[in-house]
Amino acid sequence: MDSSALQHYRHIEVHRIAGALGAEIRGVDAARPLGDDVVADLRQALLDHLVIFLRGQRLAPPQLLAFAGRFGQPVEYPQLKGLPECPLVTPVIKLEHERENFGGVWHSDTTYLERPPMASLLYAVETPPFGGDTLFASQYAAYEALSDGMKATLAQLAGVNSSAKAEVSRTREDRLRDAGAELKVLTGVHPVARTHPETGRKALYVNFGHTVRFDGWSEAESAALLAYLFKHQVRPEFTCRFHWEPGSLAFWDNRCTQHNPVNDYHGHRRVMHRVTLEGDRPY
């Protein structure tokens, strides 16, 4: 590997996987209690690379939850129930007969909440024999590539985000039906360009999965500009791609990334465990 792709923190190894975002972490066993110095390195790696990956982990749900809890406050996912034995760990499953995958569009997690999550962690329990990768996109890079005129325009706008946007609610239908639950219609209004509370950097904060219009605009008036932003913010040079194996763990900063689980493994099962960390009000 090119030495430019390898960075040495004090207690972990961080290997970049793409130019815009994404890094694999080596030298960490997430099932074991971690010292504060290791946690600090991991948090810095998350801030530096936006999404980090750990392979070869062996995490029972309580261990996944304990690891996540070193970085923030775990919270319930608003649309699905967690595991009976560990309610703050949510199973994300696609079964062999299903055609839609959960959340299978570009999105930031639950931006329809007043306080969207700071981050999410996803652990692979069972993976298909092929496919099932997840794409991630840097919304720092997306914002910074805009013209000064567009940035000035977006600075005046807020996006209206809904849990009931058809493109993403369709991907939840099987899981909600199996759980005997109904889709909760939730709405959150957030700046189109938000400021990251830890880095101070601006990130584009609309997404295809949840943003329906600009605040004070109709859906028809919003459609053209949103369509441009949705296409722009996932340009290939802003992205990385992660191939899952059993025991893989992804940890992404929801304040400055989007992700898209690729639905290309019909006929096979994919079982993941997810933990969501509490966030703050975007500004």
Active-site hit among 16, 107, 172, 213: 107
In 3-state terms, what secondary structure has residue 21? Answer: coil
Residue recorded with tokens 């006929």: 267
Question: Left (φ > 0), alpha (ψ -120 to 50) or beta: where does 22 sit?
Answer: left
Q: Is 190 a catalytic residue?
A: no
Residue 41 backbone dihedrals phi, psi, to 5 degrees: -65, -45
What is the pLDDT at residue 102? 82
Active-site hit among 16, 41, 109, 273: 109
What is the rounded distance in angstroms from the CA atom of residue 257 to the CA atom of residue 233? 10
**pLDDT tens digits, 250-280:** 999 999 999 999 999 999 999 999 999 999 9
The pTM for the full model equals 0.92
**Closest by Cα among 181, 155, 157, 168 to 80:** 181
What is the pLDDT at residue 88? 98
What is the pLDDT at residue 103? 82
Delimit the domains of the chain by residue range.
Answer: 3-277
Can you list the residues of the chain whose pLDDT is less than 50?
1-4
Active-site hit among 16, 172, 259, 273: 259
What is the pLDDT at residue 80? 84
Q: Which contacts of 85-89 are long-range, i.e. CB under 8 A and separated by 24 or more positions? A: 85/61, 86/61, 86/62, 88/275, 89/61, 89/64, 89/65, 89/273, 89/274, 89/275
Q: Is 264 a catalytic residue?
A: no
- CATH fit for domain 3-277, picks 3.40.47.10, 3.60.130.10, 1.10.10.10, 3.40.30.10: 3.60.130.10
**Is the separation of the CB atoms in 104 and 266 below 8 Å?**
no
Q: Is 15 a catalytic residue?
A: no
Q: Is 107 a catalytic residue?
A: yes
What is the rounded distance in angstroms from the CA atom of residue 143 to the CA atom of residue 153? 12
Active-site hit among 16, 255, 273, 274: 274
What is the pLDDT at residue 175? 55
What is the pLDDT at residue 2? 46
